Structure 1
């Protein structure tokens, strides 16, 4: 006999019943013959469990969530699923209830129409699973969706100061019902150029007021990178935001922080901080290489990308963040002491990250920056903008690679290579740490490599696309490395590769139901925001310091140059430190440039095949 056991709001398993329980079931059958019949009838009908009205909040702790940009692509793809799961989890595990205010620039009538069409059966399947052969658990999910979540979402036009003020009045009026508002979250899913204006209006009109029922309501504003266009604009934005928000109120999000492998990697480093710290420095590490490539072109995204480029879009934000993560074992391992409070850990980590970022340098040596544009970009540019794209006066980097160093004593002789490209032959996001020879006593002629695969081609088995691995068996040197939760050795006899756990065919977890879409980074990070955890978010000092490093690189990449060459490939050196090229879509952008330049020695440390 098996019973349903709830592991989380989204995961249920069938578990065997204890051997002593059949007698209990016999009593139930004897004295309540119709109870299992009634239960079975409920599972096969549309009868809903009673659920509280969203207007009955006297005994609930209310959290108000404003999503600005609620009808955009980011919100449609990730945010509303994350918001549903946040509310569903709170309803199951706490006394909190969420109300959502969907803000956008469309009219009230258009917004209501969007609300009716967006939260449809497709959305229900995304959050509760397929409707075919629907289970009792899925019915409960759909009951929550229909009876609580949908009525809790209200569309509000948010385009002008008057409309922000009106929303503030609406938020205040809801408290007259006697509910206790414990806090507000504002997510700005809007273009970066509107951050400053929107943040000022949010501060002016949407701050919660202290009441007797909630004397210190929290206030959290989420903005997502990119943050500014250069050091000057980032400094202006950061200066203004410091004047209106404190550190506990502003969450600068990089969604890479919520990726499953990144979460596991940070936990792996935390669990093994004392063991890894002695070897995580320039005496032992020769090179750190971070690479992101995508197969998709920029067709239909040129209007955004043309003013941004690959360096601002990917390298400054996501790959810079990953570089900080991969450097973290060099930080004082005491920060991860189990007795340390999470708020203290976050503060110490931010201080260590800031110190590491300040130490990074672009030395502007010969050919230390490579930028390229895929050939078909010109056609995509003309199609989307209606303007001709001439190579003589227009160049937007769709691929780039830069070599950095670090002035800190513990990193002074280590090179750092950061590479990113669109329209390539493969989808990949990985980090490679190459140790010096003789660090591990295995093969003196072959350095040991620590590699983290964060993502690969879509629909790839997670055991291939999510990996943390050593190229050598480090057990003799590091015998007691601990694994992150829900990760395991690919082969226990060969402990070089760890991957996410897979349900065993003989495990009770094989019958688990995972409701709806796979968890996204936004599910993870929105839970962190709701909990007030800041460890996985950047602070303004880190953002400004990163821009101080990357602004000269961005400016060098954007200098225009008339290129020459054959029909498929062009390369030129416009400044001694910059190599500029074209590449056909679907190919490696740096294979041919390196082949042409390696004889001159202009590309230090770069592999022909990354």
Structure 2
């Protein structure tokens, strides 16, 4: 694994929403913290016919909306070059990059912040550049979704492997850049308390909830052709579960970690479609929230799912028999991403408990967002006579324990791409194993065997489950 810092950063799709919402704030954070290479050079490319000055003004406006106006923003923006190009003309793209960078011994990060439909076109541009300037070193960062199904993911992997090694490909899933997700590795393998207990001897079940208050907003063009199975389940959820449930790696280094993640994904039991619930949000009771089919640019007969719940299983010695419950959806009552590991109860020896005593199974909770925290519930004796036990929390929050701002996921991942650390990026075999796992669901949905039921916007998970169950009876 190369850990050499690459200084030339070329952003394809430099005027898009992703670039402005995530990329420029992340690069600016790195700039403010002196984390960019001393010879860092940026080139943005897109179809938009803008001058460099116009482009820089747009980026400055984006940053000033998030940070207090300062000379640091102006200094950073002045480093950014821009060129309008047609990605359908690889020779022009190649010449444009060559005009702005050292092509003799240059070290480039090419970031593809582009719609999936443009991926292959831009890949041809990267391929041509690599073939012409073979002395240059490249890393290519690819945004999710990586493919739309197993076949397309394999095709994209094969396309990239025609001119790149796996060590040069950085498949992005921003969830892996979140501090609390990375902390799963620290909790498991940096402490002697939890790892010996994370198996089917002690764990009763695992729950993972990833829910949002917001609907799709103005993302219909992307989301309606994707749905939450492809947008969240196939990537974010399976990646988080991999870190939680994989076997210990030889070392916490990229290929060792990704070896174990792939083994876990390959060990997932075939999905039981009878455990699957699909939903699509309707309006709320007073009509203030749009139903999904009322959102701008969504077809009125759309069958795209915005909610999924399911039960998963793992066929290996560590986890066989432990159910994993997953729920993810949009337009619920809160924004929350949380893992709950419930252990088998062991308070049966405490007899004649009063009604006011409520012992409960131990639970390990990892709150990824918001209010990032980790806590473990244990039973303790309530003060007074008798042996009355009740659950209490042992916990830490990031804010209380470290009192430093939590780094944005994109900031961490861009830094890793520049420095050549692939630990938090996804390897080709992981991508294909994840797509293979969800393929039966996608096929059943395509055949009409699984259809989403309407649920009320603003509902709790329990209310959504009740609505979907009743509608499906």
User: One fold, TM greater than 0.5?
Assistant: yes
SS of match in other structure, 2:188: helix
User: Counterpart of 2:78?
Assistant: 151
Q: Any gaps of 5 or more consecutive residues in structure 2?
A: 284-288, 352-357, 381-391
Deviation at 1:454, TM superposition (A): 1.0
In the aligned structure 1, how far is the partner of 2:420 from the partner of 2:106?
A: 12
Mapped contact 2:281–2:291 kept (Cα < 8 A): no
CA distance in 1, matches of 2:333, 2:393: 31
Equivalence map 1:458-607=2 (5 Å): 465-472=371-378, 496-502=394-400, 519-560=407-448, 575=449, 580-588=452-460, 590-591=462-463, 593-594=465-466
Report how far residue 370 of structure 1 moved: 0.3
- Of the three residues 251, 262, 269, the one matched with 1:354 is 262
Which protein shows a greater Rg? 1
Q: Distance in 2 between matches of 1:207 and 1:441?
A: 71
Q: 5 Å matches for 1:66-465? A: 66-89=10-33, 92=34, 96-109=38-51, 112-120=53-61, 123-124=63-64, 126=66, 129-131=67-69, 142=71, 144-147=72-75, 149-162=76-89, 164-174=90-100, 182-205=106-129, 209=133, 218-272=137-191, 274-328=192-246, 331-332=247-248, 335-336=250-251, 345-364=253-272, 367-376=274-283, 381=293, 384-385=296-297, 387=299, 389-390=300-301, 394-438=302-346, 446-456=360-370, 465=371
CA RMSD of aligned residues (A): 3.3
Determine the C-alpha separation between the residues in 1 that align with 2:349 and 2:419.
Answer: 45
1:124–1:519 Cα change, 3 Å:
farther
1:309-344 CA-partner distances (Å, limit 9, x unpaired): 11111111111111111114xx236x24xxxxx6xx
SS in 2 for 1:372: strand
Distance 1:78 1:438 in 2: 46
Aligned 8 A contact 1:302 1:380 in 2: no
TM-score (norm 1): 0.66
Is contact 1:582–1:589 with CA below 8 Å preserved after alignment? no
SS at match of 2:229: helix
How many matched pairs? 446
Alpha-carbon spacing, 1:207–1:100, altered in 2? closer, same or farther (3 Å)? farther
| 8 Å contact kept, 1:288–1:432 | yes
**Moved runs in structure 1, 4+ residues, more than 6 A?**
439-445
In the TM superposition, what is the alpha-carbon distance from 1:383 to its structure 2 partner?
Answer: 5.6
- After superposition, give the CA deviation of every residue in 1:418-473 in whole Å (9 maximum; x if it has no partner): 211111111111011111233999999732111111113xxxxxxxx111111117
Asked if structure 2 preserves the Cα contact closer than 8 Å seen for 1:62 and 1:183, the reply is yes
Task: Report the Cα offset of residue 67 of structure 1.
Answer: 0.8
Quick check: 1:62–1:181 contact (8 Å CA) kept in 2? no
After superposition, the Cα gap between the structure-2 partners of 1:72 and 1:579, relative to the gap in structure 1 and judged at 3 Å, is: closer
Q: Are the aligned partners of 1:294 and 1:421 in contact in 2 as well (CA < 8 Å)?
A: yes
Equivalent-residue separation in structure 2 for 1:442 and 1:546 (angstroms): 44
Paired with 2:431 and 2:350, the residues of 1 have a C-alpha distance of 41
Measured in 1, the distance between the counterparts of 2:270 and 2:55 equals 47
